[in-house]
Structures are given as structure tokens and as C-alpha cells.
Amino acid sequence: MTAKPSSYSAKDIQVLEGLDPVRKRPGMYIGSTDVNGLHHLVWEVADNSIDEAMAGFATNIVLTLLDNNRVRVDDNGRGIPIDIHEQTKKSALETVMTTLHAGGKFGGEGYQVSGGLHGVGVSVVNALSVWLRTEVHRDGKAYEQVYERGVPKADVKEIGTSDHMGTIVEFEPDSQIFMKEEGGLKEASFSLKTILDHLRQQAYLTRKLRIRIIDERSRRGADKDRPTDYTFYFEGGTSSYVRHLNKNENTESYAIFSVVEESQGVQVDIAFQYSEGFQSNQLSFANNIHTVEGGTHLTGFRTALTRTLNKYGEEAQLYGKDDDKLTGEDVQEGLTAVVSVRLREPQFEGQTKAKLGNAEVRTIVETTVGEQLYKLFKQDSQQASRIISKALLSQKARQKARAVRDTILKKGVLSGLTLPGKLTDCSTRDPEKSELFIVEGDSAGGSAKQARNPRFQAILPLRGKILNVERARLNRILEFSEIKALVVALGTAIADEFDITKLRYHKVIITVDRDVDGEHIETLLLTLFYRYFKPLIDAGNIYVAQSPLYKMTFGKQIEYAYSESERADTLSRFAEPQKVDIQRYKGLGEMNPEQLWETTMDPERRVLKLVTVDDAQEANQYFDILMGNEVAPRRKFIQSHAKEVAFLDV
């Protein structure tokens, strides 16, 4: 990267437009006014401090959660300039805090790279806070300015001397804007876990930056003794991140490879490691922004990895006469990678800015990684050979899976010409109006077939527990009859043949018994959907039916309870000394069709739980722990969370 700027003053602050529209349409600037938008305020303030670290000035950031829903962020960077800005005739501090798109990241020399995702800056935080205070330490003095809903209460004032540099921003979000409904309107509050997860990730991506999070909020009951002080510091950067992501994987045989290089003004920081597992976990970032849809940097890495492995494999004569060259799919099995680039002017594609579009970055990453990786493979030939052997096994398994898929296609099954015999289809052919109930066993299937509305509700009974796809390659998965039947019923095909536009039912509803076996089957199905049909989860097509646990009869009155607490509440409402007949449902097959319809299948009365993945990375780790081959992490997880289980029916 180019040399650090020698100065940082008012001339580096460039003004693009005013602040007025923010309070009128806050969603345009922070995405929403729910808890996600609330936390976006924290990211905007913290990003400014992280930008100081990326520029080489800040080494410590302290974020403190305070009572009254306040947050304070303190860094030891250069401190926001306080001299008079030539264009606004106000102090640079006031300009930054009260003018949209004003800052040192729009063409001045204050920053070479920046993590500002939308460029809205701290001024939006100010506009959406009922109260905000900024304190600046620089040039031996301390300065302060206070604002209410974005309006300064007074000019910037000197408040004393200082022997350090940095910026402190403390703010209280406006409760008139950030509200959530939960038994009535109330103020949205900050989640410690959400903040920890985000800032831990930022610490991994910024080597040798120390981030401390302190929770000073008043606590009661069981929460009062929880830890309140966390510190993240990772000298290994992306290598440390990969080690963290693979903590529940078997990586004994594989080393972590790391490439840290700068080329043509782009910093490339990449680490990856293979495991004995089958799933791939690749995270990409541009200027510390998580590009969840990838982009040119991720494409460049994948191309370089495949080409380099092929080049080394040919030179080392590791391919047999029947082996084909490795493809990108072959080398991704069991791969965990973190791809991070920093550049001066990132170009993001899509409305969510989740994909990097700079064309030159692909070439830079591809060339840089290819050259460095070839050297690393030459230095550690044993590791290179091991990776190629794993990729060749993956290739053969993929070829077998394709053969199975082609055989099915030739029979017309996956193309929808022949539906599985166990499927009881609905009469409508409009996917938007169609529902598929996946039920457990023939008994529940029989009840569901009688209970359903045949016009728009289809029933697919699955016999027994399906294969755990976390522990199998695709070729074995496709040979499992129950999974094959589900794939055929959905109509989308699977893996590289997957096509969401061919989905036959826009509501796919998992309907299992309310016992241990039912919960296990539900988990197996969710693992299948997450690993091989994730676009259906992203599109909101997957649901879990909430069937009742109890039927309670009070004379001629019948009540259903869907949880233990609901059962207790219902009994308390009928506390009079009348006879209560309580029936515990252990399986859907125990209900007659009328009961199943009115409790679980009737769109007017049923309760469906939409399956979502708010944090794909965390979900990925949970599936690894709960469904993977490693026993120790699963045992530890169960022991750690056992107390959270309120009721277990065995």
C-alpha cells in the first residue's frame, strides 16, 4: 500500500450533500428500523475506528454498552480534525457529524482504504440518535461537541489538555425510530452476542488490532453473573480466522496455507485449510466488508487454487492415466478459506452491496495467489500431494453422483415426468398456491392424506430417518431412496443441476412427531435443506409445522396446547373443580383427520415456523458440531446447552 499520509486536517474532509432526509426516511440509510438497523449504528461508529486501524494509526478500540441503551466507542487513532472546514465554515468535527457523506474517505488523503459499506457515515448515527457526544483528543488537547437528534447544542469546545490521541463517540438511539413490537411497543435493545460476533470477525481481519467489548448494563437474575468484559486480538489475522472456523473439524492431516501480499495498490490477505469433511466454507471480504455473494476476489482465489494444484500435480506426476484434470468443484470439498482484500475504491454489485465487482481485482488475486501458492506447494510437497489426493477422491465421487443423476434423468424422474409413488399430490399446478407436507411414516401419512385439502396440499411420507448428509458425499446421498423421493417431489433437482424456478411447491412444510425421534428427523431434514437446497431457505420456502403436544377436554370444550407453558396457562384458566381429560400426543398418527386439520394443516388456524438463516456462518458451525463426525465438540455443545432445554420428552 502507498505510504501513510503525512497530515490529516480539514482539507481532507470533502462534503457531498446534506443530512436532512435521514430522519424522514431512515430505512434508506441503514436498511431498516428494527434491531438490524439499530446495530447498523454501532457498525458505522466502530467502522470509523477500524478504518483508523487499517490506515495504521489505531491499535485499540473499546466498545462499551451502557444503561439507557447507550453505546460508547473509544479508539486511539488520530482523532477527528477540529480545524475550520473551508467549504462549510464550521469545524471539521461538526462537518463530519452533521453532514451526510462528509468524511476523509471521499477522495482526500486521509484514508487509503475504508470499510464504510454505504458511505453514510457517522452523521446518520447522529441524526438517528436522541443524544450523541463526540470527544476528540489530538495535538495535546481535548475537545467536545454534543448533539440532539443531529443538531449541535453548541460549538466544538476545548475541555482540557490530553496526553493521547483518539476519538470517543457515545450515542443513544432515538426510541421514536427504533421500536419493536413484542406484547406492545417497546424500545429495541442492543444484543451483546450480535456485537461480539461482528467485532470478533473484524478483529480477525485486522491483524494486531485489540478490540475490547464491555457490557456495563444493569443485569438481574441469572444474567447478573455473566462475563462482562471481552477482548479480541489476533496476530495471525486470516490464518487465525481459518483456525477458528475449523475448530470442530478434523484437520490433523492438513496445514493452514497463507498468502499476504500487495500488488498494484491492492492488499491480498488469504488463508485456507482442508479438513477430512465434505463441506466447503469460504468467506470473502473487501475492506473488511463481508461480501456474502463473493465477487471477483473470490473468483480469483478459486481459479488460482485450481490451476496451481493442477500445475503442481502434473509436474509431480500425481495423476494416474484415468484421472482427469481437477475442476473448481473438485478442489472445494473440505475447504475452509478466508479471502480478504483491501483496495481504495471498491465497487459493489447488487442492491445489498454483497458482491465485489472490481474486474482488476480478479487478475491481481489470481496472479498473486497463484505465484505464492506454487512456492508454498513446492516447499511442502507432502501437503500438496495430500490435497490433490483428496480432490481426486472428490472428483470420482462427483462423477459417480453425476452418473446416478443422469440415470434418473433418463428415466424422466427428476424432470417431473414420473413422480414418486409415495407422493399424494395436489390438484393445482400453481407452485405459489401449492404446499408439500413432509410427514414421518405411513401412519402420519395416512392421517395427513385424509385431513388435507387435496386442491393445494400434497403429502410425502418418509419412512424412518433419512441419511445424515453431513457425513456423506453426493453420490451416496442420491442412492438413498427417501432423499431421492424428496428431490423428485420438489422438482428442483440437486447440486449443480439445482434450479429453483422448477420448485413445485412454494411451501415445503416439515411435519414430524413431537418426540426425540421426530426432533432428530427434523434436524436431518434441515441439514439436507441447508447443505443442498439452501436457496429454498433463503427464499422463504421451508417451514416447520407446530403440532400440539396436548389435547385438553373440559366437558364439551376442547383446547389444544403447543407447549408446556401453554398447557399450564390453559389449566389455570379452567381452575374450577371440573373434570379435565388430558391427552398427550406423541405422534401425528394419534390424531384423527379432523384434529390434524384444525391444529396443524388449516391455513386459517395452524402455526408454521419459517426456517431462516440469519447468520450462515454460525449455522454452518452448528451443523458441523451436531451432525459431523467429531464426537468431542458435540459432547461439549450438549453439556454446555443442556440447561437451556426446558422440557425433554423421552
pTM exceeds 0.85: no
- Spot the catalytic one: 34, 293, 517, 519: 517
Confidence of residue 623 (pLDDT cuts 50, 70, 90): low
Q: At what angle do helices 296-315 and 359-379 cross, to 10 degrees?
A: 30
- CA angle at 572 for the pair 570 and 578, rounded to the nearest 5°: 90
Q: Which three cell numbers stand for residue 383?
A: 501437503
Confidence of residue 642 (pLDDT cuts 50, 70, 90): very low
Chain mean pLDDT for the chain = 85
| Per-residue model confidence (pLDDT) at position 647 | 35
- Reported as a single tens digit per residue, the pLDDT across 183-197 is 444 567 899 999 999
Q: Would you say residue 297 has pLDDT above 90?
A: yes
Is residue 366 exposed (0-12), middle (13-18) or buried (19+ Cβ within 10 Å)? buried
DSSP 8-state class, residue 424 = B
Q: Which CATH number fits domain 423-547+609-644: 3.40.50.300, 3.40.50.720, 3.40.50.670, 3.40.50.2300?
A: 3.40.50.670
Q: Is 15 helix (H, G, I), strand (E, B) or coil?
A: coil
**Residue 360 annotated as catalytic:** no
Residue 308 phi, psi (nearest 5): -70, -40
CATH of domain 10-232: 3.30.565.10
**Residue 323 annotated as catalytic:** no
- Spot the catalytic one: 74, 269, 440, 470: 440
269 pairs with which residues across the strands? 260, 340
- Spot the catalytic one: 148, 293, 479, 515: 515
- Reported as a single tens digit per residue, the pLDDT across 520-562 is 888 889 989 988 999 999 999 999 999 899 988 888 888 899 8
Q: Which three cell numbers stand for residue 8?
A: 490529516
**Residue 517 annotated as catalytic:** yes
Q: How many CB atoms lie within 10 A of CB 496?
A: 11
Q: Once rounded to an integer, what is the mean pLDDT over residues 36-65?
A: 93
Q: Please give the Cα distance from 408 to 398 (Å, whole number).
A: 15
Please say whether the beta carbons of 78 and 57 come within 8 A: yes
Q: Once rounded to an integer, what is the mean pLDDT over residues 383-402?
A: 91
Q: Please give the Cα distance from 543 to 532 (Å, whole number).
A: 16
Q: Please give the Cα distance from 505 to 425 (Å, whole number).
A: 10
- Reported as a single tens digit per residue, the pLDDT across 127-155 is 999 999 999 999 999 999 999 999 999 99
Q: Once rounded to an integer, what is the mean pLDDT over residues 379-408?
A: 88
CATH of domain 239-402: 3.30.230.10
**Residue 20 annotated as catalytic:** no
285 pairs with which residues across the strands? 290, 340
| Per-residue model confidence (pLDDT) at position 108 | 55
- Domain boundaries in the chain? 10-232, 239-402, 423-547+609-644
Which range, of 64-73, 262-271, 398-407, 434-443, averages the lowest pLDDT?
A: 398-407
Q: Among positive and negative, which fits the CA dihedral 485, 490, 493, 494?
A: negative
Is residue 508 exposed (0-12), middle (13-18) or buried (19+ Cβ within 10 Å)? buried
Q: What share of the chain has pLDDT > 90, as a percent?
A: 55
Residues composing the chain: 650
- Spot the catalytic one: 269, 482, 513, 624: 513
Q: Which three cell numbers stand for residue 68?
A: 439507557
- CA angle at 231 for the pair 228 and 236, rounded to the nearest 5°: 155
List, in sequence order, every beta strand (DSSP E) within 91-248. 129-138, 141-148, 151-152, 157-161, 166-173, 179-181, 185-187, 210-215, 229-232
